[in-house]
Amino acid sequence: MADLAIAVNNLDFAYAQLNAPARPVLHDVTLNLPKGSRCLLVGANGAGKSTLLQILAGKRLTRSNAKVLGNDVFFKTPDGVTYLGTEWASNPVVRSDLEVAHFLDSVGGYRYKERRDRLLDILDVDLAWHMHEVSDGERRRVQIVSGLMAPWDLLLLDEVTVDLDVLVRSRLLAFLAEETQTRGATIVYASHIFDGMDSWPTHLCHIQLGSTVAPSPLSWPLTGAQGEDEAVPAEVRERMMDPDRSGSRLLELAVHWLEIDKKMRIEKEIREGGKQKRGATGAANGVVTDSEAFYRKYDYSH
Ligand SMILES: Nc1ncnc2c1ncn2[C@@H]1O[C@H](COP(=O)(O)OP(=O)(O)OP(=O)(O)O)[C@@H](O)[C@H]1O
């Protein structure tokens, strides 16, 4: 379909490993996202969100069918895709004695002066900062200005708002929503922070143990469409819609999904290895595990 920004169907991906079989990480991933969407990727640590974003950005290759802005990413990384990930901040270059004004010019800031200046205001960045003297959050703001200056058609965000203060984060999210509304740009955003996000996404994509859960994406706010009841059971929906509740509806749903994911992960561990792998599991089966020995040694309550 011409107006899909992302068309991923039955995508599989495995990490190649030295002297070991490839490690499967994504299986049967489906995500068909219309242009102008703001899609939040929701999943536990290790579910595969970053891997999926990196495939969409053309940073990891898979022969599976993944089309971005009409191009198969295996053959061509399309123009107009911007990826912002957390690893940027650990690059020694962006921790060196480099003035922000020079840095932004070196990555083409002079070409997009109007957008650059708007982003400098939104991200509250001082052009005279030196990159080796700024805080983590300030360095992150510079990264976001540099990444968003050139207009993009698809923005892939991998948890880069985690170290922003709440004011800057909310102004940035408002700017991003405006970009999707005024320019028809599309955003896929992996995050574990749901605070203040209830009205931001147009879609959610639940990644569970490396697979997307149908419907993928799920329209947000909920529309009552077919298949929605399975993703959002009646009792969870009731809690979300309770007028007396004060917290985030999105958070309520995300916690429900992650509880299911954890249960499924433990069942899988038991199926494949005979026992639960993580946590203090020894107490449950009478075997003293390292973790149980640890807790006995350091348990000061007795
Ligand atoms: N370079 C790699 N080589 C092998 N396995 C990897 C590699 N990178 C990630 N993995 C594995 O792939 C799985 C998915 O990782 P990924 O980083 O995509 O998860 P995530 O959902 O982004 O997690 P988080 O929320 O913690 O950022 C994990 O089991 C992880 O251990």
Sign of the C-alpha dihedral, residues 171, 172, 177, 179?
A: positive
Each as own residue / partner, the long-range contacts of residues 58-65 (CB below 8 Å, 24 or more positions apart, any chain) are 59/83, 60/13, 62/11, 62/12, 62/13, 64/8, 64/10, 64/11, 64/12, 64/13, 65/7, 65/8, 65/9, 65/10, 65/11
Q: 274 lies in a domain?
A: yes
Q: Which of 11, 15, 59, 269 to mutate to test the pocket of ligand 1 (most atoms within 8 A of CB)?
A: 15
25 close to ligand 1 (CB < 6 Angstrom): yes
Distance between Cα 44 and ligand 1 center (Å): 11
The CATH number linked to 249 is: 3.40.50.300
Q: 32 lies in a domain?
A: yes
Q: Which atom of ligand 1 is nearest to the CA of 159?
A: 27
- Count how many domains the chain has: 1
Q: 26 lies in a domain?
A: yes
> From atom 28 of ligand 1, which residue's Cα is the shortest distance away?
46
Element (H, E) at 13: strand 4-17
Element (H, E) at 30: strand 20-34
Give the residue from 32, 91, 36 showing the smallest Cα distance to 56.
32
Q: Which of 42, 51, 205 to mutate to test the pocket of ligand 1 (most atoms within 8 A of CB)?
A: 51
> From atom 3 of ligand 1, which residue's Cα is the shortest distance away?
15
For 16, 123, 247, 276, the CA distances from 23, given in Å and listed in that order, are 6, 39, 38, 20
Q: Which residues lie closer than 8 Å to 272 by C-beta, 6 or more apart?
A: none
Look at residue 290 in the predicted model and tell me its pLDDT: 62
Q: 95 lies in a domain?
A: no
Q: 133 lies in a domain?
A: no
Instruction: Give the domain range for residue 267.
Output: 4-80+152-298
For the chain (length 302 residues), average pLDDT per consecutive 10? 87 93 95 98 97 94 87 86 89 88 91 95 96 93 95 96 92 97 98 93 98 95 88 92 87 96 93 83 55 60 52
Look at residue 225 in the predicted model and tell me its pLDDT: 84
50 close to ligand 1 (CB < 6 Angstrom): yes
Q: 92 lies in a domain?
A: no
> From atom 12 of ligand 1, which residue's Cα is the shortest distance away?
25
Q: 113 lies in a domain?
A: no
Q: 183 lies in a domain?
A: yes
Look at residue 227 in the predicted model and tell me its pLDDT: 83
> From atom 9 of ligand 1, which residue's Cα is the shortest distance away?
51
